[in-house]
Each structure stands twice: as C-alpha cells, then as structure tokens.
C-alpha cells in the first residue's frame, strides 16, 4: 500500500507565496525624520494600493514592519514587542541609515544601532532620508523575494531565538523576556 504524503506539493507553496506577495499590509513604526516620507508613499501621489500595499493600524494584521528613523533603547523594547505580535509570515524593512548604524545619533549611548542584532531585517533601504521611490523599490524587491521563497527572517528569528534574546538582554538587562 502506498503511503500518502502530508507535505504540500511545491505548486501549492508557490501559489501561497504568490498570493501573499500580492497583498502586503504595512505597519510603519515611525520614530524620527523617516516618517516624513510615509504620507507621500501611502497617499495618492504614489498610490501604494495599486501594488496591493495598504497601511495597517495594528501589528496583528500587518505583514511588514517598516522601521523609519532612529531607535532608542526605550523604543527598541516596543519595537520587539510589536514584531512579536505580528502573525507569520512577517517581514521587516529598515528605512534609512538610523536602523543600520544610528544615523546622526551614532555616538549616543541611548541609541540602538544595528537593528538586525535584535530583530531579523529582511531588507535595508539606504539613505538619509530615502525617497518614497526607494520604499517602493524595497517593497517590490520584498514581493519578488516572497514569491521566490527567499524571505526567511521570521523563520530565522524562531531558529535563533536565544541569540536574539541574548542581544536584547544586553540592552535591557536580564529581566527582559
């Protein structure tokens, strides 16, 4: 007797990734000057909805966490909690130089540099401040990566959870869960 496979065929996985990439809801976490580019990106000037991109008010309904601006230690804690509330699959786009290296606050003791030490960043948008077109390029690249099955940040977070938590505890102390 032939055993039935419980694994989904690759065709189903491709279809699920294609559908997921066609409707991405963004939760923008605006902590600084990067927020100034969001109205242009989300409103009629650039019309993000034509790509299936829509704004979301809660993390539980969002697919993408768009981090714009600097991240101080206080907001990093909230950013981590926000990311952990999101449903899987979930993605992070870091917008501007601040999430990468602290930006103009690079020498501040209260600024978290290198966001990818604390959360898995799927795409980086370079610049200070990147234009709305750069956000489009990043989202379209993310869509292509989702369709191709290349986005693994949320899986990486689960697999390397202790490593991420250890880095988070270095900032917040041992009592941070």
For residue range 81-96, list pLDDT tens digits in order.
999 999 999 999 998 8
Count how many Cα atoms sit within 13 Å of the Cα of residue 164 in the half-sphere of its side chain.
22
pTM for this entry: 0.83
The answer as to whether 74 is a domain residue is yes
Q: Tokens 């978290």 belong to which residue?
A: 112
The answer as to whether 4 is a domain residue is no
* Cis amide prior to 89 (ω within 30 degrees): yes
Q: How many domains does the chain have?
A: 1
pLDDT of residue 5: 53
How far apart CA 100 and CA 86 sit, in angstroms, is: 22
For residue 128, pLDDT beyond 70: yes
- For the chain, how many residues are written? 177
Highest mean predicted confidence (pLDDT) among 7-11, 27-31, 67-71, 77-81 = 77-81
For residue 3, pLDDT beyond 70: no
Range of the domain at 71: 11-172
The answer as to whether 118 is a domain residue is yes
CATH code of residue 26: 3.40.50.12280
Nearest one of 117, 122, 109 to 74, comparing CA atoms? 109
The answer as to whether 121 is a domain residue is yes
The answer as to whether 67 is a domain residue is yes
């Amino acid at each position: 007797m032939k055993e039935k496979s419980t694994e989904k065929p690759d065709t189903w996985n491709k279809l699920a990734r294609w559908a997921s990439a066609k409707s991405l809801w963004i939760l923008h976490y605006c902590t600084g000057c990067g927020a100034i580019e969001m109205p242009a990106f989300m409103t009629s000037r650039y019309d993000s909805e034509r790509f299936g991109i829509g704004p979301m008010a809660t993390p539980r309904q969002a697919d993408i966490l768009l981090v714009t601006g600097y991240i101080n230690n206080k907001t990093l804690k909230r950013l981590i909690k926000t990311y952990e509330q999101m449903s899987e699959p979930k993605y992070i786009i870091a917008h501007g130089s601040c999430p990468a290296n602290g930006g103009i606050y690079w020498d501040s003791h209260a600024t978290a540099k290198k966001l990818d030490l604390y959360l898995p960043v799927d795409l980086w948008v370079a610049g200070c401040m990147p234009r709305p077109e750069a956000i489009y390029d990043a989202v379209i690249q993310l869509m292509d990566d989702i369709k191709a099955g290349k986005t693994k940040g949320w899986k990486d977070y689960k697999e390397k959870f202790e490593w991420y938590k250890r880095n988070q505890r270095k900032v917040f102390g041992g009592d941070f869960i």
